[in-house]
Chains A and B, each alone.
Chain A
Amino acid sequence: MGAIENLLFGIFTLAIWSLVYRENIVYRIAEYFYTGFAAALILVQGWESAKKIALAPLLKGEYIWGLVFILAIPFILFFYKRTRPLYMIPTALLVGIGTGIGMRGAIHTQIIGQLAGSMRPLIQATPLDTLNTILITIGTFGALSYFLFTTNIRGPLKVIPRIGRIFIMAGLGGAFANTGMGRFANMSGVLLNLWNKTEAIYVIAGALIVIAIDVLRQRMK
Chain B
Amino acid sequence: MIMSIKKLMEIDSRYLYLVMLILVSIPIIQPLGLPIRPSDYAIKVYNFIESLPPESVVVIDAAQTAGYGAELQTQYVVILKHVLKKDLKLIIVSFSAEGPMLVDMAYEGGIISGKPVDPAKYGDVYGEDYVYLGYIPGGETAFVSFARDCWMTKTDASGTPLEELPIMQYCKTAEDWNVIIAFTGGNHEQRIAQWYNAYLVPLIFGVPGVSAPRMYSYMASGQVYSMLSSLIGAAEYEILTNEIGLAAALMDVLNLGQLCVVAAVIIGNLGYIVTRIRGGK
Contact = CB atoms under 8 A, between A and B. Distances in A.
A195 B136 CA distance: 37
Interface string A169-184: 0010011011111111
B254 A175 contact: no
B144 interface: yes
A108 interface: yes
A53 B152 contact: yes
Interface stretch (A23-31, A39-47, A70-78, A144-152): A39-47
Interface stretch (B46-54, B117-125, B218-226, B270-278): B218-226
Interface residues on B, range: 35 or more
A41 B213 CA distance: 30
B14 A20 contact: yes
A171 B67 CA distance: 25
Interface stretch (B23-31, B34-42, B167-175): B23-31
A177 B230 CA distance: 12
Specify which of B24, B217, B249 lies most central, judged by the most chain A CB atoms within 10 Å of its CB. B217
B141 A113 contact: no
Interface in B126-160: 134-137, 139-141, 144, 152-155, 159
Interface string A39-74: 001100110110011001100000000000000000
A196 B135 CA distance: 33
A124 interface: no
Contact of B221 (A41, A114, A178): A114
Contacts of A180: 209, 257-258, 261
How many interface residues does chain A have, given as a range?
A: 35 or more
B29 to A, nearest CB: 7
24 contacts: A41-B97, A42-B97, A45-B100, A49-B134, A53-B136, A53-B153, A56-B155, A98-B140, A104-B193, A105-B193, A113-B192, A113-B221, A114-B217, A117-B221, A178-B230, A179-B210, A181-B229, A182-B208, A184-B24, A185-B208, A188-B257, A190-B70, A191-B24, A192-B28
Interface of A: 1, 9, 20-21, 41-42, 45-46, 48-49, 52-53, 56-57, 94, 97-98, 101-102, 104-106, 108-110, 113-114, 116-118, 136, 171, 174-175, 177-193, 195-196
- Closest 5 A/B residue pairs (Cβ): A117-B221, A182-B209, A105-B193, A189-B70, A184-B257
Interface of B: 13-14, 17, 24-25, 28-29, 67-71, 97-98, 100, 111-112, 134-137, 139-141, 144, 152-155, 159, 189-190, 192-194, 196-197, 208-210, 212-213, 217-218, 220-223, 229-232, 246, 249-251, 253-254, 257-258, 261
